[in-house]
Amino acid sequence: MTRPDELTFAPLGGVGEIGMNLYLYGIGKGSQRKWLAVDLGVSFGDEEHLPGIDLIMPDIRFLEKERKNLVGLVLTHVHEDHFGAILDLWPKLKCPIYATQFSAALFRAKCEAERNPPKIPVTVVPSGGKVDLGPFNVEFIPVAHSIPEAHALAIRTSVGVVLHTGDWKIDKTPIIGKPTDERRLRELGDEGVLALIGDSTNAVREGTSPSETEVAKTLAELVKNAKGRVAVTTFASNVSRLRAVADAARAVGREVVVVGRAMERVVQVARESGYLDGVQNFRGADLYGHFPPDKVLALCTGSQGEPRAALARIANDDHPQVTLNKGDCVIFSSRTIPGNEKSVGGIINGLIKQGIEVITDRTHLVHVSGHPRRDELREMISWVRPQLLIPVHGEALHLFEHAKLARACGVPKVLTCVNGDLVRLGPGDPAIIEQIPSGRLYKDGNILEDAKSRAVVERRKIAFAGCAFVAIALDAKGELADDPEVELVGIPEKNTAGEPLDDLVFELVISTVETLPKAKRRDPDAVGESVRRAVRSALNEQWGKKPLCYVHVLTV
Ligand SMILES: [Zn+2]
Ligand SMILES: [Zn+2]
């Protein structure tokens, strides 16, 4: 007798963190499983812990091995944490990709902006439509979020139906796009849902997230009252927000100037997709200077303080076309992503010092989150009535609170897991049944590095305490054949007594070699190691920090 199929779920990214989403659904048994991948996103590195690393991606070793059993990659929406790793990782998988029209168009535009645009085919599925992918049938159910065309996925299998919510909120007046499809979700609940895999981002926040329409009202009011120039920065992909800003400008006769490439790209795709129908034409940055201060509004990239983006350059008076002066106003219609506080703070303080008014979401309703707060989570559970709930898309605290809320709502089974867990959803009791390989990859320049690789660890150490390089030449008897070479990089020149540290190290290297026993001196490795230890401990004594130290021993 053949055993029945098993439906499994395995996060490879996105659980225990916000970012780098990659979820797998499996059906079958053992090596016979077919896999469906949902989303393939990135996280962003922070300069302090990961110097030089901009992007972090899920390690897809497991999927590469299972490539022939992978029926496809489905995208819920095109925020970077859900699709940002495709350019780098798809070549290892070469699987079909499915997304709705706007998502596919924005992805294509992103590919075309590459130096060598890759050819990655995407099959367009209509919003609300279904697609058969091997043993999975996937339905794209519209949900409100902070980007057009976000979808929850109803994944139908022989074992049962899973609702993968993706990122969502309940916004009955989302400005553009469809509100969350309550009717369809209730119908799904009537059909019976085995498992709900859901967004936990705002599970610690009580109440309901305000609507985009309320943000639009605030923006209109602020723009109306502004006397000088106005600059608004927001996430480029938030097309509702772009529309709200455009409406606010039009109401008071201001022209909208678009500044920044990511913003231009989204505006173009949104126009082609019909999401900016009826919105006035925007102007290029080159025309900014032609309009009087009270007749212009700059819509800029750079809400996260990115140093090369439009806003940072404007704030530093470093933008060729767009300038701001005393009495002008900058609105941050955005939230600062954790890790970016310092860069954003730097820009805000810089603007204030120039006499520019700065408005943020700390004082005005100029931004709302695209994720569900607790009342919305409760509503979703009441519509879908799942047998099992697994919180995802959150840090440990968010997952924990979402799980607790689900139990309090009477969800019969609630399971929390971590990246790399293979979870049986059914039949039978849900359980973590196996571990699959998981981890992180760093994009370091053009190279994808294993997170365990030395490069970043060494850079962090060098950033903290510099590096000492020593070169020694030994003759056949183990005597110094010449003066040692000492190079100190990222290390202070003088100690507190004002003595040059490189001289001290130089003398120390000579005395260390000369005091070594004869036999040891003929072993270059032993000499190198003794010198290395001596140099590090001497610098620690002088300076209070232990730098990296490399000793090269040549025998002549
Ligand atoms: Zn999102
Ligand atoms: Zn997300």
Q: Ligand 1 centroid to 9 CA: how many Å?
A: 20
* Residue 483 Cα to ligand 2 middle (Å): 59
Residue 535 neighbours by CB under 8 Å, 6+ apart: 468, 470, 505, 508, 509, 549, 551
Max Cα–Cα distance, the chain, nearest Å = 88
Strand intervals (E) in 253-309 = 255-259, 283-284, 296-300
Using the mean position of ligand 2's atoms as its centre, give its distance from the Cα of residue 410 in Å.
26
Residue 82 Cα, ligand 1 centroid: separation in angstroms? 7
Residue 223 inside a domain? The answer is: yes
1 in a structural domain: no
Ligand 1 centroid to Cα of residue 516, in Å, is: 63
- Domain boundary among the residues 429, 446, 463 is at 446
* Cβ-based neighbours of 371, under 8 Å, separated by 6 or more: 145, 167, 168, 169, 199, 201, 202, 209, 393
393 Cα: distance to centroid of ligand 2 (angstroms): 7
Shared domain for 13 and 58, answered yes or no, is yes
Q: How far is the CA of 370 from the centre of ligand 1 (A)?
A: 7
For ligand 2, the distance from its centroid to the CA atom of residue 40, given in whole angstroms, is 11
Same domain, 379 and 347: no
pLDDT of residue 4: 77
Q: Are 353 and 407 contained in the same domain? A: no
Please indicate, yes or no, if residue 364 is contained in any of the structural domains: no
pLDDT band at 337 (very low <50, low <70, confident <90, very high): confident
Q: How far is the CA of 2 from the centre of ligand 1 (A)?
A: 41
Contacts of 529 (CB under 8 A, 6+ apart): 551
Kindly state whether residues 46 and 154 are assigned to the same domain.
yes
- Kindly give the distance from the C-alpha atom of residue 338 to the centroid of ligand 2, in angstroms, as a whole number: 14
Ligand 2 centroid–CA 79 distance in Å is 6
Res. 339 pLDDT band, cuts 50 70 90 = confident
- Tell me the average pLDDT across 278-283: 97
Residue 47 has pLDDT above 90, yes or no: no
Ligand 2 centroid from CA 58, angstroms: 14
Q: pLDDT tens digit string along 107-157? A: 999 999 999 999 999 999 999 999 999 999 999 999 999 999 999 999 999
- One domain, residues 479 and 495: yes
- CA-based nearest residue to 253, from 304, 284, 293: 293
Gap from CA of 345 to ligand 2 centroid (Å): 24
- Helix, strand, coil abundance in the chain, percent, nearest 5: 35, 25, 40
Helix count and strand count (H, E) for the chain: 16, 28
Instruction: State the pLDDT at residue 29.
Output: 87
Percentage of residues in the chain having pLDDT higher than 70 = 99
Q: Domain ends where: 419, 446, 473?
A: 446
Going from the Cα of 145 to the center of ligand 1, the distance in angstroms, rounded, reads 7
- Supply the CATH number for residue 57's domain: 3.60.15.10
Lowest mean pLDDT among 31-35, 204-208, 299-303, 378-382: 31-35
CB 143 within 8 A of CB 137: no
d(CA 254, ligand 2 centre) in Å: 33
Question: Of 421, 446, 471, at which residue does a domain stop?
Answer: 446
Query: What total number of domains does the chain contain?
Result: 3
Ligand 1 centroid, distance to 79 Cα (angstroms)? 5
422 and 488: one domain?
no
Tell me if 247 sits within 8 A of 389, measured CB to CB.
no
Residue 146 Cα, ligand 2 centroid: separation in angstroms? 10
Domain assignment present for residue 438? The answer is yes
- Confidence class for position 368, pLDDT limits 50, 70, 90: very high
pLDDT at 50 > cutoff 70? yes
Residue 541 belongs to domain with CATH number: 3.10.20.580
Q: Which domain holds residue 539?
A: 454-555
pLDDT at 439: 96
Residues with CB under 5 A from ligand 2 (ion): 81, 167
Helix axes 212-225, 239-251, angle to 10 degrees: 30
Query: 287: which residues sit within 8 A by CB, 6+ positions away?
Result: 255, 257
- pLDDT exceeds cutoff 70 at 394: yes
| Mean pLDDT calculated for residue range 334-359 | 93
Residue 529 Cα to ligand 1 midpoint, Å, equals 51
Q: State mean pLDDT over 37-45.
A: 94
CA–centroid distance, 167 to ligand 1, in Å, is 5
Q: Same structural domain for residues 429 and 523?
A: no
Q: Burial level of 185, CB count in 10 A (0-12/13-18/19+)?
A: buried
**Alpha carbon distance 69, 26 (integer Å):** 9
Distance of CA 167 from the midpoint of ligand 2 (Å): 5
Is residue 276 included in any domain, yes or no?
yes
CATH number at residue 248: 3.40.50.10710
Summarize the confidence of residues 75-82 as an average pLDDT. Answer: 98
Instruction: Classify residue 192: in a domain, yes or no.
Output: yes
Lowest-pLDDT range of 198-212, 302-316, 376-390? 302-316
The overall average pLDDT reported for the chain is: 95
Residues 285 and 351 in one domain: yes
Whether pLDDT at 2 is above 70: no
Regarding whether 203 and 137 lie in a shared domain, the answer is yes
For residue 77, the ligand closest to its alpha carbon is 1
Element (H, E) at 102: helix 101-112
Q: Is 198 helix (H, G, I), strand (E, B) or coil?
A: strand
Ligand 1 centroid, distance to 147 Cα (angstroms): 7
pLDDT digits (tens, 9 = 90+) for 259-273: 999 999 999 999 999
> How many angstroms separate the alpha carbon of residue 201 from the centre of ligand 2?
8
Closest listed residue to residue 189, CA positions, set 141, 120, 131, 128 = 141
d(CA 543, CA 509): 17
The residue with greater pLDDT, 46 or 271, is 271
Asked whether residue 203 falls in the same domain as residue 217, the answer is no
Distance (Å) from CA 303 to ligand 2 centroid: 17
CA of 128 from ligand 2 middle (Å) equals 20
- Residue 543 included in any domain: yes
Return left, alpha or beta for 30; rule: phi > 0 is left, psi -120 to 50 is alpha, else beta: left
Rounded to the nearest angstrom, the distance between the alpha carbon of 124 and the centre of ligand 1 is 19
Range among 24-33, 225-234, 317-326, 521-530 rated most confident:
225-234
- How much is the pTM? 0.93
Residue 476's pLDDT band, with cuts at 50, 70 and 90, is confident
516 Cβ neighbours under 8 A, 6+ residues apart = 478, 526, 527, 530
The answer to whether 248 and 242 are in contact (CB under 8 A) is no
Whether the predicted pLDDT of 1 surpasses 60:
no
Provide the pLDDT for residue 320.
93
Say how many Å lie between the CA of residue 318 and the centre of ligand 1: 31
Kindly state whether residue 308 falls inside one of the protein's structural domains. yes
pLDDT, residue 3, reads: 67
Residues 337 and 406 in one domain: no
Mean pLDDT of 39-46: 91
Q: Ligand 1 centre and the CA of 369: distance in Å? A: 10
Please report the sign of the dihedral spanned by the C-alpha atoms of residue 309, residue 312, residue 317, residue 323.
Answer: positive
The predicted-structure confidence for 161-200, as pLDDT tens digits, reads as follows 999 999 999 999 999 989 999 999 999 999 999 999 999 9
pLDDT of residue 54: 86
Closest ligand, as measured to the CA of 17: 2
Check whether residue 181 and residue 281 sit in a common domain.
Answer: no
How far does residue 278's CA lie from ligand 1's centre (Å)? 26
User: Half-sphere exposure of 527 toward its Cβ, with a 13 Å CA cutoff?
Assistant: 29
pLDDT of residue 477: 87
